[in-house]
Amino acid sequence: MKYVAMIYGNQAKWDSFPAEAWPEAIARQEAFNARYRDSGELLGAYGLADAAAAQLVRRTDGAPAVTDGPYLETKEYLASFYLLECESLQRAQEIAADMPFADVDPVELWPVLHESSADS
């Protein structure tokens, strides 16, 4: 079964993180990614740009209508997501709990209900 694990953040949180702590944080994240990529359970890990770089796209009269940034009702936004493939929900929970900083901030875990292959 596939699962999406999501981490939320905000600019104030990133700004308050000490610059000298970033290299260790990135190394911890890369070690996590390698461990579960090697086990075959991590299919992909994706860190998103800051919310200021996001765009909203709609269709107006058959053409894309693009505006800057999301309409954030909250200060938190999706910062990164991971696609997991695990034999059980319990295993997906174990991996999510093993993520760096899961002891500080929760990891949101969603089962993937439907998948449409890009190969078809």
Tell me: pLDDT of 74 over 70: no
Instruction: Give mean pLDDT, residues 39-59.
Output: 90
**Is residue 1 a contact partner of residue 112, using CB atoms and an 8 Å limit?**
yes
Query: Number of C-alpha atoms within 13 angstroms, CB side, residue 20?
Result: 0
pLDDT score recorded for residue 24: 95
- DSSP secondary structure, 69-103, as one string: S---SSS-EEEEEEEEE-SSHHHHHHHHHHSTTTT
Tell me: pLDDT of 54 over 90: no
Which one has a higher pLDDT value, 9 or 66? 66
pLDDT at 72 over 70: no
pLDDT at position 17: 86
Residue 50 has pLDDT above 90, yes or no: no
pLDDT (tens digit, 9 = 90+) per residue, 86-97? 999 999 999 999
**What pLDDT shows up at residue 73?**
61
Q: List domains and CATH numbers for the chain.
A: 2-111 (3.30.70.1060)
